[in-house]
Structure 1
Amino acid sequence: MIDAALFSSALGALAPILFAALAGALCQRAGVFNIALEGTMLVGCFAGVAGSWYTGSVWLGVLTAMLAGTVYSLIVATGVVTFGADAIVLGVAANLLAVGLTSYLIQTVFGSRGTFSDPGLAGLDPVEIPVLDRIPVIGEILSGHSVLVYLSWLAVVAFAVVLYRHPWGLRLRGVGERPEAAASLGVPVDRYRYGVILVGGALCGLAGAQLALGNVTLFSENMTAGRGWIAVVAVLLGRALPYGVLAAAVLFGLAEAFGFRLQGLGLPQQLTDAAPYVVTLVALFVFSARVRARRVVTRGTE
């Protein structure tokens, strides 16, 4: 049951969650708790498929997904930063809007209901890495994924470098932790928050492109199936730290791949589909227990 193919499948399942979780972590670092990851990713799924189908180029589809995610994230950016709306309420509204909007567009644009797939739809091809693909076990796990899977790993490293090694990252952390102090030093707080929300939208677009053009090659209504919410949990578990978010996303990717493996063994789909969400609930329980324990220790030292 546990073999190289399972871990290879987990890496494919990991990428959409990781992109979205990095988006959420960036926003969290700027002091914005963005829970619109699910809806933005879903818009990216639709836009990626539409762009790929109309242009015949999968890379134009990926760019369309990034652009659509960026534009859609303006809802959260404008509402939260400009008008001071509650980020939680606005995020939930954005998620609900995305479900209704994409359900309407799949009928209007493609003339389909539920699911759209077409033999002419270009998807992301797997990339075989020379030399590495010849190594037993390791090659089977690490080679043969789409470019976006590898890009998601590089995005983690880039996030860590920018956050801790670049002045922009230092200012971003200041905006999230002490916005008044940052503003007094001349840092444009609103501009930074707008920037990270829009960058997060592009990352969610990449998540949607990987899900709709990499993991499968189709669009289905509500195909994100809670992955954006799982990404929110990954941000909380990883404490919005680059490698912490990566570790949490790996956990959920393994859970999803394990669920697919159980489904292949004949277990009911409803049961196997619940595997990532069971892990999410357990992770939330552990996270809340740690927070309560930390508060008790803090009060005891006062």
Structure 2
Amino acid sequence: MMDFISPFIVSSTVQAITPILLAALAGTLCGRVGVFNMALEGQLLIGAFAAIVGSYYTGNAWAGVVIAIVGTMVFSLVLAYGATVFRGDPVIICIGMNLLASGLTAYLLRQMFGVSGVFSDPGIAELGKIRIASINSIPWIGWIFSRQTGLTCLSWLITAIVAIVMHKTATGLRLRGVGEDAEAAESMGVNVIRYKVLTVLIAGSLTGLGGAQLSLGTVGIFSEGMSAGRGWIAVVACMLGRNNPLLTALACILFGIADAISVRMQSEGLPNQLTDMVPYLVTLLALIISYSKKFGRLSKGTAAQS
């Protein structure tokens, strides 16, 4: 067991958590204002592609991160206005966005770089790893820390900021009011549409960061469909965390561990068709356990009333 729990597996877990966590925070923010965001998968993919494009053409990884943020926010305008101003069904809009992201990135990959499937080039500037001598010299911890990017640390800082803003500020109170009772919030002078649009766009910036970590912080390439279900796992994390940033972060840790374990199992010689199932099996089991407890409480309450 101790051989299995190694610095490598812990480092892989932390890396795996980052894009899922950023996407889940985006879903949490959207959920708080009453917009169910199922487009996290497509947003991660757009962010990953935009980051590669920005990094390749500017030669700077952080310029790629900025372009990923901007590109994903522009893409998020579809949901921001479609679900608010035009009063469309968020679920249908999000399904369309996911399909659009998959097709659009594949098309642009061929048009911009003349390749299909995977784009890898020495001109892509990857995000650098954190180098702090006092920490890196610590056994075990230093090895893990020195293999993380700045976005990994930023993701946990953003988690704390979102939790504080959501529960300790007037802005967070208005956000929750918009999601819980839009008519009551509007009667108090809150511009509901503005809050929803801005929140969805801010959420888009977070998924842009997640996509940048996916393509520039982990592998330094772009491949079609490289989000690989992480956006859907983030949706489940939001559901398990009930749109609470800290509880959602705990759910992301669970899924990150499952993802890292699947990588380790594959390195031990197990077929990837089997190991790739691990994160999704954990996701399914977590949903089953969560909702079985919920229905159990509801049935007890019904029985008590009768």
TM-score range, shorter chain: over 0.9
Matched residues in 1 for 2:165 and 2:288: separation? 31
Contact 1:234 1:249 in 2 (8 A): yes
> Runs of 5+ in structure 1 lacking a partner?
none
CA deviations on 1:74-94 (whole Å, 9 max, x unpaired) are: 111111001111111111111
Matched residues in 2 for 1:217 and 1:104: separation? 20
Matched residues in 1 for 2:297 and 2:108: separation? 47
Query: Which residue of the partner structure matches residue 186 of structure 1?
Result: 189
CA deviations on 1:199-218 (whole Å, 9 max, x unpaired) are: 11110100000000001101
Q: Once superposed, which parts of structure 1, at least 4 consecutive aligned residues long, lie more than 3 Å away?
A: none
After TM superposition, give the deviation of residue 288 of structure 1 in Å. Answer: 1.7
1:159 to 2:143 alignment: no
Matched residues in 2 for 1:182 and 1:141: separation? 46
After TM superposition, give the deviation of residue 296 of structure 1 in Å. Answer: 1.7
Matched residues in 1 for 2:295 and 2:153: separation? 37
Query: Which residue of the partner structure matches residue 242 of structure 1?
Result: 245
1:49 to 2:52 alignment: yes
Matched residues in 2 for 1:301 and 1:181: separation? 33
Query: Which residue of the partner structure matches residue 292 of structure 2?
Result: 289
Task: Pick from 265, 279, 304 the counterpart of residue 262 of structure 1.
Answer: 265
Aligned-partner SS, 1:73: helix
Contact 2:130 2:150 in 1 (8 A): yes
CA deviations on 1:89-134 (whole Å, 9 max, x unpaired) are: 1111110110000010000011111000001110001102332222
After TM superposition, give the deviation of residue 287 of structure 1 in Å. Answer: 1.8
Aligned-partner SS, 2:297: helix
Aligned-partner SS, 1:81: coil
CA deviations on 1:37-85 (whole Å, 9 max, x unpaired) are: 0001100011000010011111110000000110000111111001111
Matched residues in 1 for 2:226 and 2:261: separation? 19
Give the alignment of 1:18-37 within 5 angstroms. Answer: 18-37=21-40
Aligned positions, number: 302
Query: Which residue of the partner structure matches residue 142 of structure 1?
Result: 145
1:228 to 2:217 alignment: no
Could you state the TM-score of these two structures normalised by the residue count of structure 2? 0.96
Matched residues in 2 for 1:57 and 1:71: separation? 21
1:112 to 2:89 alignment: no
Query: Which residue of the partner structure matches residue 202 of structure 1?
Result: 205
Contact 2:130 2:145 in 1 (8 A): no
Query: Which residue of the partner structure matches residue 65 of structure 1?
Result: 68
| CA RMSD across the alignment | 1.1
After TM superposition, give the deviation of residue 301 of structure 1 in Å. Answer: 4.5
Task: Name the % identity.
Answer: 49
CA deviations on 1:228-266 (whole Å, 9 max, x unpaired) are: 000000001111111101100011111111111011011
Matched residues in 2 for 1:104 and 1:141: separation? 37
1:79 to 2:82 alignment: yes
1:279 to 2:278 alignment: no
Query: Which residue of the partner structure matches residue 102 of structure 1?
Result: 105
Matched residues in 2 for 1:31 and 1:39: separation? 20
Matched residues in 1 for 2:195 and 2:34: separation? 10
1:9 to 2:22 alignment: no
After TM superposition, give the deviation of residue 298 of structure 1 in Å. Answer: 3.3
Matched residues in 1 for 2:141 and 2:6: separation? 11
Query: Which residue of the partner structure matches residue 38 of structure 1?
Result: 41
After TM superposition, give the deviation of residue 144 of structure 1 in Å. Answer: 2.8
Aligned CA distance change for structure 1 residues 301 and 174 (closer, same or farther; 3 Å): farther
Could you state the TM-score of these two structures normalised by the residue count of structure 1? 0.98
Task: Pick from 281, 299, 302 the counterpart of residue 299 of structure 1.
Answer: 302
Contact 1:128 1:145 in 2 (8 A): no
Q: Which moved more, 1:62-71 or 1:129-138?
A: 129-138
Query: Which residue of the partner structure matches residue 173 of structure 2?
Result: 170
Query: What amino acid is the match of 1:118?
Result: D
Matched residues in 2 for 1:33 and 1:118: separation? 37
After TM superposition, give the deviation of residue 164 of structure 1 in Å. Answer: 1.2
Aligned-partner SS, 1:176: helix
